[in-house]
Amino acid sequence: MADGRIVVSGLTKRYGTLAAVADLSFTVEPGRVTGFLGPNGAGKSTTLRIALGLSRPTSGTATINGSPYRALREPARQVGAVLEASCAHPGRSGRDHLRVICAAAGLPAHRTDEVLAVVGLSPAARRRVKGYSLGMLQRLGIAAALLGDPRVLILDEPANGLDPEGIHWLRALLRTLAGQGRTVLVSSHLLAEMQLLADDVVIIAGGRLVRQGPVADVVTVAAQPPLRIRAPQADALTRALAAAGAAVTAGPDGALRATGIDAPTVARTALAAALEIHELTPEAPDLERAFLDLTAGRAEVR
């Protein structure tokens, strides 16, 4: 019975002495869009390739619907994947490209026009792929992944090459697919976009899991947001906050920006020093900062 889960368990992949992935475990649930994040060389592609049966692990397992990819029956109907944007023959039309995949996977040809409509490529269906923009190639890749109407989708960098309108479209599509109960795993370096696209994130660095959870939790837990503070005696308050362990800088508009301290501690410190505060606002937490905080020191390019 297909449970729609992607389960990575104790996964290790060594290339010589390098552990590209080291004892990595996480689960991706159906009905949600999960972002797979990590700095360059973190091991994302290695993990996805193993999950898709393109590479063998040194140890550990990656299963989809409870089985390793290679043991899945009719895998095209269970898992759709986009690993590279442009693997289509440039002289073929988008429609023909999809028909070839359909035939090879034993899928009905009528799926071609259905998926072209889903990704908004119907008007360009008969144009040669070599005339497609990067955004159109991304759409074509997603269309190919959808041909088998799979429960599980694995998309490597699907936002790459899309303009803001395209990203908006992608967001709506991924939400719709997850809303249909599908499992959607999306890797990306575009962290701000991932914050928009994903419900959950799995963050890895150096081949190891750094954090997994709902985007909102990861962002809040990981990044104590800087506080914007306005105070009439800014210099005195800066000294008091620094003594309390905060790092404080003054902005051009006279507001202070404090990190490494929470709002109650700022208020207590000001009260103890008999200093007024006129504004105390947390900056919006963001995934970019959480990501940098979490992967600090592990983000060396490998």
Ligand X SMILES: Nc1ncnc2c1ncn2[C@@H]1O[C@H](COP(=O)(O)OP(=O)(O)OP(=O)(O)O)[C@@H](O)[C@H]1O
Interface ranges with ligand X (CB under 6 A):
15, 18, 20, 38, 40-46, 302
**Least CB distance to ligand X at residue 237 (A):** 42
Q: Based on CB atoms, which residue is closest to ligand X, 42 or 79? A: 42
- Do 46 and 55 meet the contact criterion of CB atoms below 8 Å apart? yes
- Least separation in angstroms between residue 83's CB and ligand X is 10
Min CB(286)–ligand X separation in Å: 20
Closer Cβ to ligand X, 40 or 249, answer by number: 40
C-beta of 284 vs 301, nearer to ligand X: 301
- CA–CA dist 142, 169 (Å, integer): 12
| CA distance to 11, 204, 259, 283, per residue, from 17 (Å) | 16, 19, 39, 43
Q: Which is nearer to ligand X, 40 or 176 (CB)?
A: 40
Closest to 207 in 3D by CA, of 7, 18, 16: 18
Provide, rounded to whole angstroms, the least separation between the CB of residue 77 and ligand X.
27
In the complex, what is the shortest distance from the CB of residue 40 to ligand X, in angstroms, rounded to a whole number?
Answer: 4
How far, in Å, CA of 64 to CA of 81, rounded?
12
Rounded to an integer, what distance in angstroms lies between the CA atom of residue 4 and that of residue 293? 32
Least Å distance between CB 8 and ligand X? 13
Rank residues 50 and 218 by Cβ distance to ligand X and give the closer one.
50
* Rounded least distance, CB 55 to ligand X, Å: 8
154 bridge partner residues:
81, 185
Beta-carbon contacts of 123 under 8 Å, excluding residues fewer than 6 positions away, are none
Crossing angle of helices 234-243 and 263-272, rounded to 10° = 110
Closer residue to ligand X, CB minimum distance, 157 or 238: 157
C-beta closer to ligand X: residue 44 or 211: 44
Please report, as a single letter, which amino acid is at residue 169.
W
Q: Which of 190, 191, 211 is nearest to 202 (CA)?
A: 211
Shortest Å, Cβ 164 to ligand X: 22
Identity of the residue numbered 256: L
Q: Give me 25's structure tokens.
A: 């475990």
Tokens 């709902």: give the residue: 214
- For ligand X, which is the closer residue by CB, 168 or 302? 302
Angle between helices 215-222 and 287-295 (to 10 degrees): 60
For residue 184, the tally of other CB atoms under 10 A from its CB is: 28
Question: How far apart are the C-alpha atoms of 78 and 87, rounded to whole Å?
Answer: 21
